[in-house]
Amino acid sequence: MTSHQVQLFLLDVTLIVVLARGLGVLAGRVGQPPVVGEIIAGILLGPTLMDGRLSDALFPAEVRSSLTGVADIGLALFMFAVGLEADAGALRGRGRLAVGAVVGANAVPFALGVGLGFYLLRTHPVRGASPTAFVVFVALTVSVTAFPVLARIIESRGLFATTLGGLALATAAMVDVVAWAELAVVQALIGGGAALWRTALFVLYGAGLFLIVRPLLHRLMRAEWSRRVPTAGTFPVVMAGALLSGAATEAMGMHFILGSFLFGMAMPRTGSAASHADLSDGVGRLTSVLLPVYFVVAGLQIDLTSLSISSVWQFGAILLVAVAGKVGGTYLGLRTQGMPSRPSMAIAALMNTRGLTGPIVVGVGLEMGLFDGELYSLMVVMMLITTLMTDPLLSLTFRGSVEVPGSVRGDGESTRRRVTARP
């Protein structure tokens, strides 16, 4: 990079951090998660405004490549944090309610998404990949849930200590795990003749992380747990492991976010809660600076001015399938297992939020050549709108108090109590 490009790179990073932070604060003041402001910042700096002249002046190709590298580091660390928090054992002991929630929140929108994929395939033909991969990826896109954003909303609503909040968190964690597994399947499908070997290698790598790396990490962190204070060497080792794991899956033909996510899943879950919190906080500080760069770089590829009348109809179909599948599926899944109507609707509204996770998945689809620029833009706007819908839906649901299961037994039976969430 030349001296001028270095100056522009530093200026761009500063602009991104300040604008994303400012719009994130404004989003918070109107009851929305900060990621809404970050996504809007990306769209504002992209080609949508001023016919792309602002975007081209601030982000020339040479600087964009450097920003993409920074964004990838932030994305890898964020996916590690998602894996760290997505405890697959969180549903244990929650009975049929948990099963109904997970099946409804994933299977129903995925099935509707397959139909949507065939519909979109007529106007968005896939080049260099199989139509099957495109259809499956569309289904994956409309069935994701943003676990980190959902957790923030639950905390801001005062629902963390309730069974409703716990069930929503556990369900979202499992849906996240399923979503990344589905992404691995899509990548394997794109591999053509190498799909079988790629899948086998990925499975073996995942097994190695849990059977070999996880015990080593447990030994490394044991001293820290015993002292209940973070050691100077643990955090850099874990961060290096997350990045190297991403590099490993990228080398085997899978996306690097899968490797970072698996490494987070492989982290030991036993030990000091304080040490675990310190690790999460450390990653959170890094991603709070790096992840907005990802959303802005992604926003540079969104041009809303290029959308046509036919795009409006396609967007309507995408939004309808996404909301009906996720909200309707989760609601029906819980209702069939005995959950009362209003808490079922509350969890369904929470599961409909897609900020953070959704745009990342759509960005992967763009990188793999499954989505063109128009479809990518439509999907990102859908992610933004469904995230914006969450707070109003919860406000409607939480008028007054809501009856929720106080404790859930393995047979699905429960005791009842009433809670009032903060507006």
- pLDDT in tens for each of the 423 residues of the chain? 789 999 999 999 999 889 888 988 898 888 787 778 887 888 888 887 777 788 888 888 889 889 999 989 988 998 898 888 766 555 555 667 878 888 999 999 999 999 999 999 988 888 767 888 899 999 999 999 988 788 778 877 777 667 788 888 888 888 888 888 888 888 777 765 566 777 788 889 999 999 999 998 888 777 666 655 555 567 888 899 999 999 999 998 888 988 998 998 888 876 655 666 777 788 888 888 888 888 788 877 787 877 778 888 999 999 999 999 999 999 999 999 888 898 899 999 999 998 778 888 898 888 888 898 889 989 989 998 998 898 888 888 877 544 444 444 333 344 444 444 444
Its domain, for residue 379, covers: 3-419
pLDDT at 413: 41
Centre a 10 Å sphere on the Cβ of residue 39 and count the other Cβ atoms it contains: 29
Tokens for 407, please give them. Answer: 């404790």
Q: How far apart are CA 208 and CA 218, in angstroms?
A: 15
Q: Are 19 and 41 in contact, with CB atoms under 8 Å apart?
A: yes
CA 316 – CA 310 distance, rounded (Å): 10
Provide long-range contacts, Cβ within 8 A and 24+ apart, for 87-92: 87/173, 87/269, 88/173, 88/174, 88/177, 88/265, 89/269, 90/166, 90/169, 90/170, 90/173, 90/174, 91/170, 91/171, 91/174
**For residues 116 and 65, what is the distance between their CA atoms, to the nearest angstrom?**
33
Among 294, 293, 306, 312, CA closest to 361: 294
**Contact indicator for 31, 391 with CB cutoff of 8 Å:** yes
Q: What is the pTM of this model?
A: 0.78
Q: What is the pLDDT of residue 228?
A: 53
Beta-strand pair 402-408/414-419: antiparallel
Q: How far apart are CA 173 and CA 91, in angstroms?
A: 9
Q: Residue 402's beta-bridge partner residues?
A: 419
Number of neighbouring beta carbons within 10 Å of residue 400:
8
Residues 67 and 161 sit within 8 Å (Cβ to Cβ): no
What SS3 class is residue 419?
strand
- Distance between alpha carbon 419 and the CA centroid of its chain, in Å? 28
For the purposes of burial, counting CB atoms within 10 Å of the CB of 411, is it exposed (0-12), middle (13-18) or buried (19 or more)?
exposed
Under a CB-based contact definition with an 8 Å cutoff, are residues 409 and 377 in contact?
no
114 CB contacts (<8 Å, ≥6 apart)?
A: 135, 136, 138, 139
The pLDDT assigned to 421 comes to 44
Mention every residue, 6+ apart, whose C-beta is less than 8 A from residue 39.
295, 299, 355, 359, 380, 383, 384
Tell which residue, 183, 157, 174, has the closest CA to residue 349.
157
List residues bridging with 404 in a β-sheet: 417
Q: What is the pLDDT of residue 420?
A: 44
Written as six digits, the tokens of 162 are 């309730």
Number of domains in the chain: 1
Q: Following DSSP, what letter does each residue of 98-161 receive, concatenated?
A: HHHHHHHHHHHHHHHHHHHHHHHHTTS--SSS-HHHHHHHHHHHHH---HHHHHHHHHHTT-TT
**Beta-carbon count within 10 A of 123 CB:** 13
- Tokens 């099963």, residue? 99
Please answer whether residues 374 and 318 qualify as being in contact, where contact means their C-beta atoms are separated by less than 8 angstroms: no
CATH of the domain at 135: 1.20.1530.20
